[in-house]
Structure 1
Amino acid sequence: MRLGVIGLGLIAQAVHLQNLQTLREKYQVTHVCDLSPTLAAQVAAEHGGPIRHSTDAEAVLADPDVDAVLLLTPGTHAELTRKALRAGKHVLAEKPFAHTVAEARELDALATQKGLILQVGYMKMYDPIMPRARAELANIGTPRVVRVTVLHPADAPQFAHARFLRYGDADTSTLDGTYERDRALEAVGPIGEPFLSIYTDVLQGSVVHELSVLRALFGEPPLHIAHAQASGIVIGERLTEPPQLQALGTLGDTQLSLSWNWLPDYPEYGEEIAVFGSAGRLYLRMPGPYLRDSRAELVVESVRDGERASTRLISEHRTGFVHELLAFHASVTDGAPVLSTAAGSAYDTAALRQIARVLAAAHGVKPA
């Protein structure tokens, strides 16, 4: 598959470009694009092979030697996805995908209309341990409580091991941000700061992954958020750093507790999804996002033939990032169904919208 890569920042350099090299029997990178001309030229030269480089995404979308695009730019990817689909390109778009439910559904319909593959980059859904975790739910009885906990360190220690090139020659004059802000306001209403930036930066930027994991495990049962709270809230002011964010609700008939915590002074990332059932317990621990061979861990505690049993399973070395590229290739070339669809992301977005609005209401800000 001939691939164009748009956006050559951290996630491209630390993860995707290396994985594409590993999968070079399946992918040929033919065009790379970044606002920094120096970075685009260097990545093209170092990746190997005849690769075009540019600073304009439109040049990639117009390139006849590009079958599909990998969208790795900052912010949401809905507008660029729309342009890519209209240009006849298959799309794998990193998160955050879209700020509104309507836009996610619109793009899902557009991909279907065009006969193109649209896959959203929720790599945790593709972790090789996920099918086993989903199957093991049957061994713990009726789920009663789902507890999601994220311990988020400062960013720099998470990718200190990776080579990360940056130059000061990017022309950012064309970046406006109005479209993205308007879509966020459309999603959550005029709730003001800090709730709007919590929605765009924390919920859509990180918590969305937890929603995708829940969807991979449980499908799409009705999700209701009854309570939310966050640290450091001053009405009308953006937070100076990410918050400790807690949300309580229900996932179908199961109680849901979600805890996302900014803990900058300890460098290890932590993420656990715990499911407490009537007949057992399941603990799913996910790896840090920038570690190329860090492995997920699954622990299942249950009763078997009257005896208490505990099973510990470790994922293989190929991460969810690798498996999502393999899945994208299979969907484009063989028609395999897409797991992380844009329609599925609409479900996640609806839940994030609830959290933002419930959080605002808890602080006396009533969304329109």
Structure 2
Amino acid sequence: MRIALVGCGAVTQAVYAPLLSRRRDLFEVTAVCDLSPALAAAVGDRLGVTARHTSLDDMLAAGGFEAVVMLASGSHGEPVRRALEAGHAVLCEKPLALTRAEVAALPEGRLMVGYMKQYDPAVRRAERLLAELGGPEAVRSVEVTVLHPSAGSQLAFASLTRAADVDPGLLGSLRAAEDELVSRALGADAPEAVRALYGVALGSICHDLSLLRRFTGSPAEISHVETWGPAPGSVEIAGTLPAAGRFSIRWHYLEDYPAYRETVAIHHDAGTLELAFPAPYLVNAPTVLTVVTPGADPGGEGRTEWREVTEAFETQLAAFHAYVTEGEPPLTGAAGALEDIVTAQRIAARYAVQHGLPIGGEAA
């Protein structure tokens, strides 16, 4: 399948380029696009692509591909709309958009939203085990902890090409457009604390929201939100799950923490399913699923560990190929991505209400 890559930054260079290089049985990259000519050239050279663009509209007009992989930063609502209208299938990295209105404006088409942790084999095994236990009704609580060091430390191994050739005026206009979208989501008067929380929710915590959707369904209620520490700081979110039990998410940005760590523990009456994820940029690093059960002897405990090194990003790419060529539905489409946007807005609204801060827009 011939594909075009939009966005040639960190995740493209560290993850997608090496995976696409080894999955030439499924994909041929025929075009790349980035605001930075240097980044487009670097990724084009690496993948042997001669069609290099700095404008999405120019790339869509030139064609030569069946599908678009949207990897640029920020809201993807408008570029995804253009790609779908041009008749292309789209794999879009999270978040799909910053507003509900952007999702509502999307035309019919083949759209898959990339939450790679949903495709992690350890996550799929945990889903099956939870179903055997009785599904969402068996859950007492889901507890998430994320320890998030700086992006620079996570990517120190990658020897990335940096962009230094983009017009500052263009970057300024793009940032202003993003800020306007956030104002539509949260209201023009929403203070920086609420905007920053929304950014963390849609930029990082959305991965955990996507796992909640798979395991239990999206939260029924957001009952508590707090932030503290130097920006982007720490975030604590708690609430009720739709079938049974409660959830808590504790997300900490720790500039100098030695390594990224994320754990998701699903507690039920007879034990625990705990997932420990590696840093997302480390291709083929294992995700560990620990299954805790009652032991054979009274008062004893049984523990089984599953380590799976199959790369979640690669499994996701294969699923996109199957979606486009065979019609196999993706785990998240526009509807699931919209659920996460709504949940992020509910998180921002709960925080604003607790602290007497203004909230408007869609989140109101």
TM-score, with structure 1 as normaliser:
0.90
Q: Distance in 1 between matches of 2:128 and 2:105?
A: 32
CA RMSD between the two structures? 1.9
Query: Could you tell me which of 249, 260, 265 is aligned with 2:251?
Result: 260
Residue 236 of structure 1 aligns with which residue? none
Report the more deviating stretch, 306-315 or 72-81.
306-315
1:16-57 Cα deviation digits (max 9, x unpaired): 111110111111010111122233223222322x53111111
Residue 197 of structure 2 aligns with which residue? 198
Uncovered stretches (5+) of structure 2, i.e. residues with no partner: none
Amino acid of the residue matched to residue 152 of structure 1?
H
Counterparts of residues 40-55 of structure 1 (less than 5 Å): 40-48=40-48, 50-55=49-54
Q: Distance in 1 between matches of 2:354 and 2:23?
A: 48
Residue 235 of structure 1 aligns with which residue? none
Q: 1:167 and 1:247, CA in 2 relative to 1: closer, same or farther beyond 3 A?
A: closer
Q: 1:194 and 1:287, CA in 2 relative to 1: closer, same or farther beyond 3 A?
A: same
Residue 272 of structure 2 aligns with which residue? 281
Q: 1:139 and 1:338, CA in 2 relative to 1: closer, same or farther beyond 3 A?
A: closer
Q: 1:45 and 1:138, CA in 2 relative to 1: closer, same or farther beyond 3 A?
A: closer
Q: Distance in 2 between matches of 1:3 and 1:10?
A: 19
Residue 311 of structure 1 aligns with which residue? 304
TM-score, with structure 2 as normaliser:
0.91
Number of residue pairs matched by the alignment = 351
Query: Could you tell me which of 127, 144, 161 is aligned with 2:120?
Result: 127
Q: Are 2:17 and 2:43, in contact at CA under 8 Å, matched by a contact in 1?
A: no
Residue 161 of structure 1 aligns with which residue? 157
Q: Are 1:130 and 1:216, in contact at CA under 8 Å, matched by a contact in 2?
A: no
What is the deviation of 1:255?
1.0
Q: 1:282 and 1:132, CA in 2 relative to 1: closer, same or farther beyond 3 A?
A: same
Amino acid of the residue matched to residue 310 of structure 2?
R
What is the deviation of 1:66?
1.4
Counterparts of residues 14-163 of structure 1 (less than 5 Å): 14-48=14-48, 50-107=49-106, 110=107, 113=108, 116-138=109-131, 142-163=138-159
Residue 352 of structure 2 aligns with which residue? 360
Q: Distance in 2 between matches of 1:281 and 1:38?
A: 48
Counterparts of residues 177-216 of structure 1 (less than 5 Å): 177-189=175-187, 190-200=189-199, 202-216=200-214
Q: 1:210 and 1:222, CA in 2 relative to 1: closer, same or farther beyond 3 A?
A: closer
Runs of 4+ in 1 over 4 A off after TM superposition: 138-141, 304-307
Q: Distance in 2 between matches of 1:223 and 1:61?
A: 40
Q: Distance in 2 between matches of 1:90 and 1:178?
A: 29
Q: Distance in 1 between matches of 2:132 and 2:267?
A: 11
Amino acid of the residue matched to residue 147 of structure 1?
E
1:305-347 Cα deviation digits (max 9, x unpaired): 77642211111x2311111110000100111111121210111
Q: Distance in 2 between matches of 1:272 and 1:39?
A: 33
Q: Distance in 2 between matches of 1:268 and 1:56?
A: 36
Residue 227 of structure 1 aligns with which residue? 224
Residue 4 of structure 2 aligns with which residue? 4
Q: Distance in 1 between matches of 2:293 and 2:272?
A: 7
Q: Distance in 2 between matches of 1:303 and 1:4?
A: 50
* 1:243 matched to 2:236: no
1:85-105 Cα deviation digits (max 9, x unpaired): 011111111122111234334
Q: Are 1:105 and 1:342, in contact at CA under 8 Å, matched by a contact in 2?
A: no
1:219-261 Cα deviation digits (max 9, x unpaired): x2552111111014xxxxxxx6311110111112211111001
Say which SS state the counterpart of residue 151 (structure 1) adopts: strand
